[in-house]
Every structure is written in structure tokens, then in C-alpha cells.
């Protein structure tokens, strides 16, 4: 009604601003309306070559759950006690994928760091101090030598640095440094996860430079 009044004040006709979703409800695609439509609306639908729908609205939305069930099974994702994870995935596809991949967390961390930088800029806080605010339990990992940092050696694809949340087991190689004398691998830091990467794949680092931040992962005690 409000849009009708606005259009009429502009010299236009009524019912000029019915959006697609509203038309779907008018045409019955969302279910049977509780009352009869005004003949003017029916005539407008005919003028626009719209067809009224009298079937089951659910027929317009085929069952996609089997596709999501198969993908969750393939990825090893839990459907939840009452399939709540499955329904969340089906209803919010992109958001759920970002959550599972860690992309949502990375975006949050970037936004948080930007907000912290803005708030504390007047205090001239350095990056390590900001990291301490963001990750109070994080530990810096420093380079053991001077050279080129190698986070991985992928011979089939591009080698890259680890992403936020990457788990490092006790005996896994964390990184390697290509020095003038060879490649020096570093491992055995204990069970941890990557919180932030300060040096990217191929960067030149000096001995003692902070290359990443980690958080220790507690392992369950064995009785």
C-alpha cells in the first residue's frame, strides 16, 4: 500500500513495485493464501503472463539432503546428534563451508586485528604486543638460522605457508630453512596448532626472527 501511494504521487500506476518473492506468494508458490485475491491483482497477473500454482509448494524445492549427506560422509563431517549439522550445512552452504575450512575464523581474526590496530594505534603498540592481546596463550616460533624459509616442499603443486589452525603433531616437521650449507629442518615442538604466520613461503629470514605463533594442544592424559 505504501509503495502504491509513493508511485501515485509520482504519476505512476498502482502495483508497480511487486517484487519476485511477493509475486511467488501471490501466485500460491509458497502455499494457499488465506483469502481470495482482488480481481485487480488477478488481472495484473494475467497481464504479466504469470500462472497461478495450485500444487504442493514443496514440489518446487527438490530434496537436496542426499547430496549434502554424501558430501559430509566423504569429508568425514559429523551430521550431529539430531542431524543439526546436516541441516545447518544445507541451509547455509557457503557459511558452513567457510566455517569448516577455517576461512570464517581467518576473516574474524583479520577483522579483530584491524580493530585492535585502530584502537591501539595511538599507543604505538608493536605487532608482537598486538599478538599478545589477540592470542594470550600463543608462543612465538623463531628461525634457527638465516636463509629462505620453506614451510613445505610440494612437487605437484605450489608450496605455501600453513593456514590458521593447522595442527602440528609432536614429530612433524614445522618448517625448514635453506641456508648456504643446505636445508635445516625443524621439528619436535610438541603438539600445537598454527595461530598466525609472520613469514611466508620463500621469505628470507634472519636467525631469531619470529616466523609464526603457535598454541599448545593439550593431549588427554592416560590413566
Q: Identify the CA nearest to 210 among candidates 130, 139, 121, 147.
A: 139
| Same domain? 42 vs 74 | no
> What's the start-to-end Cα distance of the chain, in Å?
71
| Same domain? 9 vs 42 | yes
| Same domain? 153 vs 190 | yes
| Same domain? 205 vs 150 | yes
Grid cell digits, residue 136: 594470550
Stated pTM of the model: 0.45
**Residue 192 belongs to some domain of the structure:** yes
| In the predicted structure, residue 114 carries a pLDDT above the cut 90 | no
Q: For position 222, what pLDDT does the model report? A: 44
| Same domain? 163 vs 207 | yes
| Same domain? 212 vs 144 | yes
Q: Identify the CA nearest to 173 among candidates 162, 158, 157.
A: 162
Q: For position 125, what pLDDT does the model report? A: 66
**Residue 9 belongs to some domain of the structure:** yes
Contact present, 18 and 7 (Cβ < 8 Å): no
User: Could you read off the pLDDT of 55-112 as tens digits, one per residue?
Assistant: 888 887 888 999 999 999 998 899 999 999 999 999 999 999 998 887 888 888 788 8
**Residue 115 belongs to some domain of the structure:** no
Mean pLDDT on 140-162: 87
Mean pLDDT on 107-125: 78
- Percent of the chain whose pLDDT exceeds 70: 94
Q: How many domains does the chain have?
A: 3
CA 22 to CA 67: how far, in whole Å?
29
| Same domain? 80 vs 33 | no
**Residue 154 belongs to some domain of the structure:** yes
User: Could you read off the pLDDT of 163-210 as tens digits, one per residue?
Assistant: 878 888 888 888 999 998 889 888 867 888 888 888 999 999 999 999
Domain extent at residue 183: 139-216
| Same domain? 146 vs 185 | yes
Amino acid at each position: 500500500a505504501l509503495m502504491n501511494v509513493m508511485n501515485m504521487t509520482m504519476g505512476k500506476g498502482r502495483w508497480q513495485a511487486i517484487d519476485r518473492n511477493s509475486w511467488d506468494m501471490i501466485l500460491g508458490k509458497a502455499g494457499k493464501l488465506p483469502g481470495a485475491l482482488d480481481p485487480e491483482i488477478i488481472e495484473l497477473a494475467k497481464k504479466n503472463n504469470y500462472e497461478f500454482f495450485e500444487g504442493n509448494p514443496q514440489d518446487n524445492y527438490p530434496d537436496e539432503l542426499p547430496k549434502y549427506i554424501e558430501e559430509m560422509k566423504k569429508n568425514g563431517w559429523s551430521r550431529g546428534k539430531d542431524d543439526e549439522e546436516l541441516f545447518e550445512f544445507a541451509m547455509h552452504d557457503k557459511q558452513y563451508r567457510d566455517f569448516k575450512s577455517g576461512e570464517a575464523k581467518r576473516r574474524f581474526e583479520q577483522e579483530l586485528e584491524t580493530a585492535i590496530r585502530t584502537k591501539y594505534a595511538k599507543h604505538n603498540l608493536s605487532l608482537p604486543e598486538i599478538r599478545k592481546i589477540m592470542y594470550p596463550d600463543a608462543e612465538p616460533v623463531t628461525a634457527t638460522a638465516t636463509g629462505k624459509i620453506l614451510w613445505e616442499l610440494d612437487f605437484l603443486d605450489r608450496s605455501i605457508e600453513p593456514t590458521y589452525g593447522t595442527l602440528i603433531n609432536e614429530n612433524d616437521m614445522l618448517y625448514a630453512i635453506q641456508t648456504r650449507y643446505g636445508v635445516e629442518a625443524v621439528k619436535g615442538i610438541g603438539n600445537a596448532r598454527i595461530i598466525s604466520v609472520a613469514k611466508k613461503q620463500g621469505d628470507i629470514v634472519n636467525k631469531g626472527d619470529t616466523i609464526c605463533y603457535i598454541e599448545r594442544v593439550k593431549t588427554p592424559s592416560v590413566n
